[in-house]
């Protein structure tokens, strides 16, 4: 794992966006794995700037998002569908048919998951995957567990995640289930970029980087990935 430490979230966002922009320039029809949460917002903001400056185009890019809540209307303000459109897709020239976001309202979630994995495989796999990290070490919505997960599946969110994410939910209660790429799907990306900011992530970053590889800290499996870059601000890296 390669580690880079930045002064703050803004500087980290610029660096992460540059990695993704370089991927798009090198392979205009690349497959991006994308993430939600507060962490990737500065990265997406910078990618929009680069698009508007004419430096990159998303016209041939395809995307696969890590996860989506179950039982939340697609257009709810807290759906990851809404998040991705507000923070990136509505501002660039990506084609809607090239955007892949799990349907958390699918009647047959197993089928939805299998179809998503199939589409990802048929596209040739993810070239570069962006990841945030939960306070409990989750990647996507792969919560601490007794074993690493494989492909896309329906997961019950843990108390830690419900607490961390419930701040976004007011009128609608926070969903307790989500669909997520599995750890195996995430690890099959050719390159992975994990970003983390803020002192609240310092302990889990320590466990991810210095601890043993364990499904109790799902992100620790990144130690086994051949091409993984970790970008931290000073606060998130403070225990390393
Ligand atoms: C959610 C997402 C994760 C994300 C995490 C951290 O739980 N499913 O993919 O990494 O939040 O979010 P934040 O960046 O807001 O700390």
pLDDT single digits (tens) 167-179: 889 877 899 999 9
What is the reported pTM?
0.96
Q: How confident is the model at residue 13 (pLDDT cuts 50, 70, 90)?
A: very high
Atom number, ligand 1, closest to the C-alpha of residue 40: 14
118 CA to middle of ligand 1, Å?
Answer: 25
Do strands 67-69 and 177-180 pair parallel, antiparallel, or not at all (unpaired)?
A: antiparallel
Cα–Cα distances (Å) from 35 to 83, 146, 189, 199, 240, in that order, read 10, 24, 13, 20, 24
pLDDT mean over 26-49: 98
Q: Give the bridge partners for 62, in sequence order.
A: 31
pLDDT(150) > 90: yes
The enclosing H or E element of 100 equals strand 99-100
Residue with CA nearest ligand 1 atom 9 = 140
Nearest CA to ligand 1 atom 11: 37
H-helix or E-strand containing 118?
helix 109-122
Tell me the chain's radius of gyration from C-alpha atoms.
17
Ligand 1 centroid from CA 138, angstroms: 8
Mean pLDDT, residues 162-190: 92
Q: Which residues line ligand 1 (CB under 6 A)?
A: 35-39, 66-67, 132-134, 140-141, 161, 165
Q: Which residues are the active-site residues?
A: 67, 136, 138, 143
Whether the Cβ atoms of residue 194 and residue 230 lie closer than 8 Å to each other: yes
Whole-number Å distance, alpha carbon 37 to ligand 1 midpoint, is 4
By DSSP bridging, strand 62-65 and strand 31-34 are parallel
How far apart are the C-alpha atoms of 158 and 65, rounded to whole Å? 20
């Amino acid at each position: 794992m390669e580690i880079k430490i930045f002064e703050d979230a803004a500087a980290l966002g610029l660096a992460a966006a540059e990695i993704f922009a370089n991927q798009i320039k090198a392979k205009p029809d690349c497959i991006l794995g994308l993430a939600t949460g507060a962490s990737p917002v500065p990265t997406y903001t910078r990618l929009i700037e680069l698009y508007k400056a004419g430096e990159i185009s998303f016209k041939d890019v395809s995307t696969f998002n890590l996860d989506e809540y179950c039982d939340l209307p697609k257009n709810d303000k807290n759906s990851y569908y809404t998040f991705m459109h507000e923070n990136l897709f509505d501002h660039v020239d990506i084609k809607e048919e090239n955007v892949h976001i799990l349907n958390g309202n699918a009647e047959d979630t197993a089928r939805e998951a299998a179809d998503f994995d199939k589409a990802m495989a048929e596209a040739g796999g993810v070239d570069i995957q962006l990841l945030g990290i939960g306070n409990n070490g989750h990647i996507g919505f792969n919560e601490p567990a007794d074993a690493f997960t494989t492909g896309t599946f329906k997961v019950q969110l843990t108390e830690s995640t419900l607490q961390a994410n419930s701040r976004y939910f007011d009128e609608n209660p926070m969903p307790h289930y989500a669909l997520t790429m599995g750890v195996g799907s995430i690890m099959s990306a050719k390159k992975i970029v994990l970003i983390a900011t803020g002192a609240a992530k310092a302990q889990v970053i320590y466990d991810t980087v210095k601890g043993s590889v364990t499904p109790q800290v799902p992100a620790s499996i990144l130690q086994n990935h051949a091409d993984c870059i970790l970008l931290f601000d000073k606060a998130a890296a403070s225990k390393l």
